[in-house]
Chains A and B, each alone.
Chain A
Amino acid sequence: MGVRFGWSQAPRRSIRAFAFGIMLAATAGWAAGAVAEELPTIAGAADLQFALTDVAKAFEAETGLEVKLAFGSSGNFARQIRQGAPFEMYLSADENYVLELNKDGFTRDDGALYAVGRIVIIVPHGSPLESDGTLGDLRAALEDGRVQKFAIANPEHAPYGRRAEEALRHAGLREAIQDRLVLGENVSQAAQFATSGSTDGGIIAYSLALSPKVSVLGTFELIPEEWHAPLRQRMVLLENAGNTAERFFAFVQEPEARSVMRRYGFVLPGEES
């Protein structure tokens, strides 16, 4: 039919621009997706945010191979792996998660211990709290009302949160601090809460506190390791692990990677005191 559309009224330019933008986005996305396809995804516990990033950089420098890192709470990752998440390697902050996954057949084997972690109390600059590792100041602050909000990771699925809870219980503060607790989804978010000034402080991973980005934000002190169960951090290759993941798994146990881990306050297997 020779009917002119009547589209001359439409700002043709904006439709064309939008349509073009969409096509461009789609094709660009396909390209990006195609490339990213090849790299294995490594699931790392949140406390490894900085440490593992450095290890991966060293790995790339040495082998030329890249890996994709995803950080989150160990419990969350364990759940996702059970639901078929396509990770190739899993570094947990609690070895039980790894052992359970192995028992249920999601992993190649029972993996390897790669580090033992510590927890610290951290307070942001200007906080009414002091970074007292014996939690004595925290006790006093609870009594005189200095502390309004205190951050830890969610004990339900974050190992560092469970340890923080155990430490608080050991110090007899668990009940008293209950309604002032702010729970981070993982220990990274807890660190975020603890240092941003929106809380008065928190208990987080030593490895996070040591990183330059975090240490400038406050002061921290180690909490005695007898006060909680040990943070035995175990890693494992998953069923669909490929070549690169296998090499990375090996790399983490080599001296170069170990020295990175040591820098972040981890105690290494074989060096426990």
Chain B
Amino acid sequence: MDWTALRLSLQLGALTVLLLLPIGIWAGRRLAYRDFPGKVVTEALVALPLVLPPTVFGYYLLVGFGAASPIGQVWQSLFDRPLVFTFEGLLVASVIFNLPFAIQPMQRGFEAIPREVREAAACCGMSPWRALMRIELPLAWPSILTAMVLSFAHTLGEFGIVLMVGGSIPGETKTIAIAIYDRVQAFDDMAAAQMSALLLAISLATIALTYGLSRRVGRQLG
């Protein structure tokens, strides 16, 4: 069991979720409540990582953020480290790649709130922020939690992008998924089996929690 890799994965998952929480709520709400020109394109872009092969994404990340790119060079001069092959680079990739897992469930959650209920909140004198905190979030929380749980689990399992952009550097970018791959190549079956079992358990727990929560959404507003 590669504890460093496990902690790295947990940290990556946790930070991804923390960053995606405000992003997801903001984007999910906007997409749920408003119709604007280009909305379909925006929704397609958000959904893109669902169908895009991770290696394609990894390739564009390397091109866009690598040492030779403008962004990469700015980053290097600011932080004295490259963006690729670092934990920060993985975090950036992870946040982008998990956008649909965060935004889509939250969007559904906000869409499920009847428009008149939100309008009633305004008529009661609640400012948009108050209405968000007192009415919308309590009603949409199962979807928000689903989004967070899905993003967390998905990050734990992310492999292709991490491999391409991270470089399997122990303690920096060698996540538990990479570690499993690495242990198999090193003929260390026991470690590989242990870590695989752990990830399997986490995935099952995620699915169970997600399904349980989506039933709750139905009951909440029914």
Contact = CB atoms under 8 A, between A and B. Distances in A.
Contacts of B145: 14-15, 18
A49 B142 CA distance: 47
Interface string A179-221: 0000000101101100100000000000000010110000000
B148 A29 contact: no
Contacts of A28: 7, 10-11
Interface string B138-153: 1001100100110010
B148 A85 contact: no
B171 A22 contact: no
Mostly, the B contact residues are helix
B151 to A, nearest CB: 11
Contacts of B170: 36, 41, 68-70
B220 interface: yes
A82 B7 CA distance: 28
A214 B82 contact: no
Given A28-B7, A32-B171, A23 B186 contact: no
Contacts of A211: 187
Contact of B171 (A9, A39, A71): A39
B138 A5 contact: yes
Contacts of B185: 46, 49, 71, 186, 188-189, 191-192
B82 A86 contact: yes
Contacts of B134: 1, 3, 5
A44 to B, nearest CB: 12
Q: How many residues of B sit at the interface, in one of the four size bands?
A: 35 or more
Interface string B155-188: 0000000000001111110100000001011111
A186 B185 CA distance: 9
B196 interface: no
B24 to A, nearest CB: 14
Contacts of A6: 138
A85 B138 CA distance: 45
Interface in B113-132: 126, 130
B14 A23 contact: yes
Contacts of A214: 187
Nearest to A211: B187
A178 interface: no
Interface string A83-95: 1111100000000
Given A10-B138, A25-B14, 13 more contacts: A3-B134, A9-B220, A15-B141, A18-B148, A26-B18, A28-B11, A35-B171, A41-B172, A70-B167, A85-B82, A85-B85, A86-B85, A189-B185
Interface of B: 3-4, 7-8, 10-15, 17-18, 62, 66-68, 72, 76, 81-82, 84-87, 126, 130, 134, 138, 141-142, 145, 148-149, 152, 167-172, 174, 182, 184-188, 209, 220
- Nearest 7 CB-CB pairings of A with B: A29-B11, A36-B171, A25-B10, A84-B67, A84-B82, A25-B14, A188-B185
Interface of A: 1, 3, 5-7, 9-10, 14-15, 18, 21-23, 25-26, 28-33, 35-37, 39, 41, 46, 49-50, 68-72, 80, 82-87, 186, 188-189, 191-192, 195, 211, 213-214
